[in-house]
Amino acid sequence: MMAELPQEGEQSRARAGLAGYFRVVWTVAEKDVRTELRAKEILGTMAAFSVLAAVIFGLAFDLRVPRTELVVPGILWVIILFAGVLGLHRSFGSETDRGTLTGLLLAPVERSALYLGKTAANLLYFLVVEALLVPALLILFDVNLLKPLILLGLLLGTIGYVAVGTLFAALTARNRARETLLPVLLLPVLAPLFISGVGLTAAVLDGRAASEAWPWIGIIALYDVLVFAVAFLIVDLIWEQG
Amino acid sequence: MNETAVQGGAGRWFALLLVFDAVAALAMIAATWAALLYAGDAINLAGVEQVAQRIFYFHIGSNIAALLGFLASLVGSLGYLISRRLVWDRWAAAGVEVGTIFGVFVLLSGAIWAKPAWNTYWTWDPRLTTATITVLIYIAYMLFRNGFENPDTRARFAGIYAIFAFLSVPLTYYSARLFRSIHPIVFDGANQEAQGGFSIGPTMGQTLAMAMIGFGLLFFALLFHRVRQMELESRIDAFRGEIVE
């Protein structure tokens, strides 16, 4: 894996310039995805959990609610929230377990590029799972979520989720109770995303005017911007010595 | 030699703290008396609602205290991340701990009041939602701190979490408000925020001020004690380290 990172002669070039920066991001993301394709730790679990959860929700609600459109927005976002936590803690958990995190941190590159690369890999996992979940909800609940505004909200919401989630996964990787702690830390902080995601999905499914959907998108986008801005400011603090 | 000097100083501070405790206790007694006996009845309420509205003083008072805890944790976290001195972290942690107690009391007193006033203990009003999420964030913060051995790592990571958490709180309020505004209204078509409202007379205003001062002083008394306790704890840890060596 380390061979993928810029070689000695390239260091200065890799560190300077935006292109070099994004090459580091790409390298880290590619490394993560390749490891995942070989180890199959994250994607399979997340996907299986998502479909399983959709079935469970179907059994829990289907006979009790008059129209499934009433509960599907909540179901969609709850599943994403919980499935996401499953995947995120492996993002740094597997690195810590194998002792490869130290190697990664020793690489002479910007820490924020490492964070961004990890975030990009996680984003890919999430999107793959969502691409599976949306059709699954269509089949189980007969609710079509393939509407442009819902998909836009889903994409932006996932970006914000992954941005916070990856950072928190890095924070909890060193904690004694990391697997159990991550959801407790994440879920309340994700409240604005969750509320807005459900609000947006419900507004679109109810067939309300697009002008009622855009404020939700606005909140989600604002959340994304704020989270990335703060993440970039503080990412160097996470991996200090100590 | 130096140690006795430190202890002497600590002793003087402790005496001062006890005086402060007494002041806070008196202020709380006065606030309780005012809330239950001194404050006049609300003009436009009757029956159970008339009795229940008196919880309002405790509700607002503890809300002030919870807000102070919120501020202490934010200032303490930023202070630590900038200065890297553990004193700041203790203020942040103590602020969260004391703030949580008052935050839970805000939620409980609100629910008790809401049953007669709104005919339900709970509603997803933006303020309720935001207050609940904030208390949950506090609890998560305390659990998070628990899992670290190294005090510096603990302070740094908790500080980072606090900053993210508090970034999300205003957005939670905003999204919860939007959520309500386009949802059907639960209470008879009227704005539910207006339900159970009452006008404030002069004695009620004075009582409210007393409650806010009383709870504010109580908050600081608890905060000072907790910070002092944490300082003693770290000193014991340091001594223990010396003995082991």
Residue A10: pLDDT over 60: no
A63 in reach of chain B (CB within 8 A) = no
Given a cut of 90, whether residue A187 has pLDDT beyond it is yes
Indicate the average pLDDT of chain A.
87
Q: pLDDT at position A17, please? A: 82
Q: Assign 3-class secondary structure to A5-62.
A: CCCHHHHHHHHCCHHHHHHHHHHHHHHHHHHHHHHCCCHHHHHHHHHHHHHHHHHHHC
**Mean pLDDT (whole number) for A91-95:** 82
Q: What is the ipTM of this complex?
A: 0.85
Cβ of B160 within 8 Å of Cβ of A237? The answer is yes
Contact across the interface for B81 and A167, Cβ inside 8 Å:
no
Kindly write down the DSSP assignment for every residue of A82-111, as one continuous string: HHHHHHHHHHHHHHHHHTHHHHHHHSSS-H
CA distance A205 to B231: 55
Residue B136 resides in a domain: yes
Q: Which residue positions in chain B have pLDDT lower than 70?
A: 1-10, 43-44, 181-200
Instruction: Delimit the domains of chain A by residue range.
Output: 11-238
Residue with the bigger pLDDT between B135 and A6: it is B135
Q: Which amino acid is at B169?
A: V
Asked whether the whole model's pTM tops 0.90, one would answer no
Confirm whether B223 is domain-assigned.
no
For residue A110, the model assigns a pLDDT of 85
For residue A56, is pLDDT > 90? Answer: yes
* pLDDT tens digits along A21-37: 889 999 999 999 998 89
**Residue B141 belongs to some domain of the structure:** yes
Q: Is residue B71 part of a domain?
A: yes
Quick check: B137 and A242 CB within 8 A?
A: no
Q: Which domain holds residue B78?
A: 52-183
> Cα Rg for chain A, rounded, in angstroms?
19
Residue B199 has a pLDDT of 61
**How many contacts does A have with B, using Cβ atoms within 8 A?**
104
As for how many domains chain B has, the answer is: 1
State whether B182 and A203 contact (CB < 8 Å): yes
Closest CA to B127 of B75, B185, B169: B169
Q: Which of residues 196-235 of A touch B (CB under 8 A)?
A: 196, 198-199, 203, 208, 212, 215-216, 219, 222-223, 226-227, 230, 234
Q: What is the pLDDT of residue B1?
A: 39
Handedness of CA B114, B120, B121, B125 (dihedral sign): negative
> How far is the C-alpha of B158 from the C-alpha of B93, rounded, in Å?
9
Instruction: Give me the count of residues in chain A.
Output: 242
Determine, yes or no, domain membership for B46.
no
Banded pLDDT at A242 (limits 50, 70, 90):
very low
